[in-house]
Amino acid sequence: MAIALYMEFPRFTEQQYEAVLRELNLGGHLAPGGVLHCAGPMEGDAGWRVVDVWESQADFDRFRREKLDAAMRKIGAEMAPRVITWPVHNVILSERAPAWSHS
C-alpha cells in the first residue's frame, strides 16, 4: 500500500538539505519505490519540511536504512524529524508539470 509522509526537521537548513541530496547521489531522480518528493523551508527559518509519497512503507524504510540515515550522519545532521504517515488513497499529477527545482 502506498504511503505519504509529512516530515518536519527542526533547525534543518536549505544548505543541509542540498548536502543530503548530494550525498544520496540520485541524479535528480527518486529512489526505487519513491513516487513524489517535495521540500521547502518552514516558516521563520524554523527548519525544513518534506512531503514524500512511497509505493510502500517497506520501500521508504529500505531507503532510509540503506541511504538516508548514512547521508544525514555524513553531513552531521540528526535524523529526528516530526513524522506523520498515512495511507495514500489517490495521487493525481499534472502531465504539464515537470519536476523543477528552485536552484
74, 23 in Cβ contact below 8 A?
Answer: yes
74 belongs to a structural domain? yes
Place of cell 509522509: 5
Range of the domain at 54: 3-87
Across the chain, mean pLDDT equals 90
Q: What is the CATH number of the domain that holds 80?
A: 3.30.70.100
- Give domain status of residue 81, yes or no: yes
The pLDDT-based confidence of 13 (bands split at 50, 70, 90) is very high
- Report the domain count for the chain: 1
Query: Rounded to a whole number, what is the largest CA-CA distance in the chain?
Result: 38
Backbone angles phi, psi at 56, to 5 degrees: -160, 160
Question: Is 103 within the bounds of a domain?
Answer: no
Residue 47 lies in a domain: yes
Nearest to 1 by CA among 52, 59, 84: 59
- Does the pTM surpass 0.85? The reply is yes
